[in-house]
Structure 1
Amino acid sequence: MRKPHHAIVSIAIAALTAIALPTAAYSQAAVSYDELAKNEAAANAENGKRVAPVKSIVNPSNDVSSDMQAMIGAPFPPHFNADPKSASEWKELIERRAKLSIANVPTMKEKLGVKVEETKIAGVHCFIVTPNRILPENRRRLLVHVHGGGYVFGPGEAALPEAIMMAGFGGFKVISVDYRMPPDFPYPAAMDDAMAVWKEVTRTHDARRMAIFGTSTGGAMTLAMVLRAKDEKLPKPAAIAPGTPWSDIDKVGDTYASNEWVDNVLVTWDGWLGRAAKLYANGTDLKNPYISPIYGDFKGFPPTILTSGTRDLFLSNTVRTHRKLRRAGVTADLNVYEGQSHAQYQFNISAPETKEAFTDIAKFFDRHLKE
């Protein structure tokens, strides 16, 4: 006989309010582990939504560097629930965050041994990031970078950190696209800029020696650029690296729920992130493949390497993308890091996990790009 809804809710509330401690401390909680297990079994006795107890999650210590442990345990960013009500409020938030990123750029350039030049390609503002030493096998290779930031953050030099890391750790020359963004330029401005650059550089460079990469929004744009290249019959890159891609811009996917309030970077879709999604889409269907590339056709995609972490709000976006690529017959690697929230593999150039992530991507590109 089906248990009355109010009874299930009561059991669930009891389980949720009874304990807020990690597993190791159950014996000191308001209820014993055995009682908690009994309550949870009852609350999850029927097919449907999963009910979980409130709990603390300790930082992983095995196979995680001290630098990464510090990032994993950091508080939520102060802007995670920002709710700008106007274009001017969005711009103020964007500028404030950009200043924080730009402040780190000079040190990154020095430590990783790269130089940065501004240019325009097909009328789009770009940066050319060149390592002091380009590996011999990379001298004719070229990478195109599209930055992350929820389609709103990362204008100008604030877009550079990931491109600098790829150039520095990988030994590649990189073009970073400073694409237009909301609030002034919603979809499809960002994609139009990125594609204009891609179309122009493939006129003078062999696409078999080129790759596209980016993280989060940049990961989604990387995937969407390949979709557009297919549709527009343009050359496709020899490989791509969409890191923790925002491949479904809507709140669809398991870890939007399971890693909500666990990811200490994005935290929740219902904060600034979801508001940025709607601002960017500007009324366009969120399942449009150029906005949410998970709904596109991945057949014929180039070899792909994806990166995420076990606490990443976008882990499901990454996993869904990986599975869809594999089902389409595409060579696809998936690297998932212990304990990391969204894109934390690129937050600290001194963390060994950062060098490891970019080295893995560089090796993947080396296998698939023509010399």
Structure 2
Amino acid sequence: MSRFPFTILSFSALLAFFSGAWAKTRPPTPPADAPAAAAANAQPGPRHVPPRVIPVPGDVSKQLQAFIRMPYPPGVLSPPPKTAAEWGALNKRFAAEWTAPLADLRKQLHVSVEATEIAGVKAYLVTPRDLRPENVNRMLLHLHGGGYVFGGGEAATSEAIMMAGIGGYRVISVDYRMPPDFPFPAGLDDALTVWRSIAQTIDPRNMAVFGSSAGGGLALAMALKAKDEGLPLPAAVSAGTPWSDLDKIGDSYFANEYVDNMLVAWDGWLGGAARLYANGHDLKNPYLSPVYGNYKNFPPTILTTGTRDLFLSNTVRVHRALRRAGAEADLNVYEGMSHAQYAGPGMPEAREVFEDIARFFDARLGR
């Protein structure tokens, strides 16, 4: 018998190993458009990007992959409405679409929703069947998204239902006034009115404010104004992909343009909504674009976004503003996710979003 029975096998294995290692480490072949891209970017200036195809990431849930594959929403790239009647018609269409799944959502998450009024402002009380014992003396204030022009009425409650059902909190969802009839600062005034009212009966240290998109921007603006006016502050804030700069300022407005399959682009109804809501006010007003606010002594804040989110920069810029001011701030970024795409309790990433927010609140709210 040979003294080296594994010589041939070992040599074959080594050859296969080094061949595989070389395949993994050798430089990839440059794409065909690399020379043109190099020439277009040979001088300092804005980046010129060749046409590209971005694949669906394989390391996210199947449910999120289905969202990523979705086409753009109908009409999202159409010119913005020109009249109050056109804005109203578009609002009705969105309201019908967003309200339709709410009955099933309430049933799945064992949540009840009751219309109410607080200090003259319309709102909804959202209550989980299984209110967690530690949350008995706590309350969350919710501000809905929808570009400041959509999502009112029952449609306003979707995110509040998710937070109540997954986090086990009672939630007041504010059905704030919106343009074209009630532009800025009507929505902010309504949010502050409700906050002042409930802060008289519930200890503010036991409360937090949350919202996404326009609701995230409004949550930040409300807390900024409450701070500026010397009002009691919430114990924590959650701003999901906040619309923190109404103007087209920020890297992801350009880098994620046509990549985000929810908002798609600022140019279209989104930019029109910004102008409609602002009603002639300077877009750098921190109560309109809270990224420009003073965050010194601001409540602890959790921020959520995705790598394909048109508002990724809005979220990142607020996080940096908070950290520079010495405020506590967490930033959660989800792979492949477009704007506020954490919808539906069946998607693992959606549960992660609300579970993360609930844990953040639990660690900071009094009892």
The normalised TM-score by structure 2 is: 0.91
CA 1:33–1:159: 2 relative to 1, 3 Å:
same
Q: How does 1:15-34 map to 2 (within 5 A)?
A: 33=30
1:172 aligns with 2:169: yes
Percentage identity across paired residues of the two chains: 60
State the alpha-carbon separation in 2 of the partners of residues 204 and 348 from structure 1: 32
State the alpha-carbon separation in 1 of the partners of residues 168 and 32 from structure 2: 56
Q: How does 1:53-64 map to 2 (within 5 A)?
A: 53-62=50-59, 64=60
**Residue type matched to 1:139 in 2?**
V
Shift of 1:46: 1.6
Shift of 1:232: 1.2
1:154 aligns with 2:114: no
Shift of 1:34: 5.3
Q: What secondary structure, in the 3-state scheme, does the structure 2 residue paired with 1:144 have? A: strand
Q: How does 1:99-118 map to 2 (within 5 A)?
A: 99-118=96-115
Higher radius of gyration, 1 or 2: 2
Q: How does 1:124-203 map to 2 (within 5 A)?
A: 124-203=121-200
1:351 aligns with 2:347: yes
Match of 2:22 in 1: none
1:369 aligns with 2:354: no
Count matched residues. 339
Q: What secondary structure, in the 3-state scheme, does the structure 1 residue paired with 2:225 have? A: helix
State the alpha-carbon separation in 2 of the partners of residues 153 and 294 from structure 1: 22
The structure 1 residue matched to 2:263, chosen from 262, 266, 284, is 266
1:232 aligns with 2:219: no
Shift of 1:37: 1.9
Q: How does 1:206-225 map to 2 (within 5 A)?
A: 206-225=203-222
Shift of 1:157: 0.3
1:334 aligns with 2:331: yes
Match of 1:43 in 2: 40
State the alpha-carbon separation in 1 of the partners of residues 164 and 43 from structure 2: 52
Match of 2:288 in 1: 291
Moved more, 121-130 or 36-45: 36-45
State the alpha-carbon separation in 1 of the partners of residues 40 and 267 from structure 2: 26
| Structure 1: 4+ residue segments shifted above 3 A | 32-35
Match of 2:72 in 1: 76
State the alpha-carbon separation in 1 of the partners of residues 211 and 230 from structure 2: 22
Shift of 1:35: 4.5
State the alpha-carbon separation in 1 of the partners of residues 152 and 250 from structure 2: 28
Match of 1:10 in 2: none
**Residue type matched to 2:344 in 1?**
N
Higher helix share: 1
Q: How does 1:248-267 map to 2 (within 5 A)?
A: 248-267=245-264
Compute the RMSD of aligned alpha carbons: 1.1
State the alpha-carbon separation in 1 of the partners of residues 278 and 33 from structure 2: 44
Match of 2:117 in 1: 120
Shift of 1:226: 0.9
Q: How does 1:76-95 map to 2 (within 5 A)?
A: 76-82=72-78, 83-95=80-92
State the alpha-carbon separation in 1 of the partners of residues 32 and 92 from structure 2: 51
State the alpha-carbon separation in 1 of the partners of residues 30 and 268 from structure 2: 34
Shift of 1:349: 2.0
State the alpha-carbon separation in 1 of the partners of residues 229 and 75 from structure 2: 38
The normalised TM-score by structure 1 is: 0.90
Shift of 1:148: 0.3
Q: What secondary structure, in the 3-state scheme, does the structure 2 residue paired with 1:240 have? A: strand
Q: What secondary structure, in the 3-state scheme, does the structure 1 residue paired with 2:183 have? A: coil
State the alpha-carbon separation in 1 of the partners of residues 250 and 277 from structure 2: 20
